[in-house]
Structure 1
Amino acid sequence: MIRAKTPILIAAGAALTLTAACDAQNMGGFGGPTNKTQQGALIGGIAGAVTGAATSKKSGKGALIGGAIGALGGAAIGNALDKQEAELRRDLENDRVQINNTGDRLIVTLPQDILFAVDSARVNNALRGDLLTVADSLQNYPGSTVQVVGHTDNTGSASYNQQLSERRANAVAGVLMDGGVGSNRINTYGRGENQPIASNLTPQGKAQNRRVEIVILPNAR
């Protein structure tokens, strides 16, 4: 077991070295703050190492090559996500729209009270502009797929909440397509009340759970 893991650990170490080199290049020296480009390189490097080891008879060589290639690809993805995130933060007008950059994806979260009226799946006109801004960004970065995921709180029946979350996800996806994003890039999902991010025991928690997430997933190159 130790021998099987060693090449992957070596490749992961190589990926870490590459992230440090990226940091040195970006910051003019070592010791700067970690960014999502570095995280992307590390994620890509470890994933590439695992894939390389699995597909090569010479697992050590395969893991090292896969790790290096994966780290480079992951760094490129992380860099693109950093740039896209900064542009979205600059261009989105509503400060309640949240953007989370995990290093391998962007998650744009829109509270449903600014997106929809109560019990409605019609997008508020005031938010169409921000959704069209996201659509412009997606067209500027065509190498990604998009998941639009609707969520509700637990008020009402679970079956109704499921249907409402699906309708709202489809409504947001419709605005993105109106903005020029190809339907082949978009997948919609309704999660109903099944994935809360806060307690449904308080009004504040319920408000956080009512949301639509636009998940931007860069395609592997």
Structure 2
Amino acid sequence: MTSFKKTILFISLSSLVLTGCANMNNTQKGAGIGAVIGAVAGKGTGDNDKKRYVWGAALGALTGSAIGSYMDKQEQAFREELADSGVKVYREGDNIRLSIHGNITFATNSAEIVANFYAVLGGVSKVLNEYEKTKLSIEGHTDNQGNEQYNQKLSIARANSVADYLSATQVSTNRLQTLGFGESKPVADNNTASGRQKNRRVELQIIPMQG
């Protein structure tokens, strides 16, 4: 399918889904948007295995002491919005990092977002759209099971799936960057099932736009 045809299909399907959103809850809305994304983006590590999102020119910037205050408020908003979701929120200098483990995000060997992940991404989108003077690096990771090259592609495909969802919920693509690290950055022991689950994760780095 050509890029032009994909765009037309995305717009058409999006219109149908969004028209019916008025009587849906957040999880149902997320599932509807996810269906559109799945129809366009492809499955597994097929059409979605390249780095397709790169930061572009974005309006708005923060300077001086305003940066810390702005990020303090955004951090608190993430903590409130994602409370009890299983997402870990870390503050690292002026940046915020969200770590989302594999029990929330994707099925094994898949880049298709699972149902429970929609509510999490809906919360992330809500905060990002409220705090527009930040950009987002979406970073996919895998465990060490299987072929290293395949895991690299899978990690990028997962990051792209998250970016696709966020862009479909009005987060500007100029604010998004996707990266895949495959199995190269484990945070737990790959010799245990629980460790591998922790390594199959997506990390979101929220970075202030500085002027």
Query: TM-score range, shorter-chain basis?
Result: 0.5 to 0.7
Is 2:211 aligned against 1:214? no
CA RMSD in angstroms comes to: 1.6
Deviation at 1:103, TM superposition (A): 2.2
Larger C-alpha radius of gyration, 1 or 2? 1
Kindly, what percent of the aligned residue pairs are identical? 39
Gaps of 5+ in 1: 1-71
Is 2:122 aligned against 1:143? no
Is 2:51 aligned against 1:98? no
Aligned mates of 2:169, 2:133 — CA distance in 1? 17
Deviation at 1:187, TM superposition (A): 0.6
Aligned mates of 1:144, 1:127 — CA distance in 2? 22
Comparing 170-179 with 86-95, greater Cα deviation is found at 86-95
Cα shift readout 1:53-98 (whole Å, capped 9, x = no counterpart): xxxxxxxxxxxxxxxxxxx945321221111111111112543111
Aligned mates of 1:154, 1:130 — CA distance in 2? 26
Gaps of 5+ in 2: 1-61
The amino acid of 2:70's aligned partner reads A
Give the corresponding residue for 2:184: 194
CA pair 164-118 structure 1, distance change in 2 beyond 3 A? same
Give the corresponding residue for 2:161: 171
Aligned mates of 2:115, 2:179 — CA distance in 1? 22
Deviation at 1:124, TM superposition (A): 1.3
Aligned mates of 2:99, 2:173 — CA distance in 1? 20
Deviation at 1:184, TM superposition (A): 1.2
- Return the TM-score normalized by structure 1: 0.64
SS of the equivalent of 1:113 reads coil
- Return the TM-score normalized by structure 2: 0.67
Contact 2:85-2:120 within 8 A present in 1 as well: no
Greater RCO, CA 8 A, separation 6+: 2
Contact 1:81-1:103 within 8 A present in 2 as well: no
Is 2:189 aligned against 1:205? no
**Which structure's residues are more often helix, by fraction?**
1
Aligned residue runs from structure 1 range 84-123, under 5 A: 84-92=74-82, 94-123=84-113
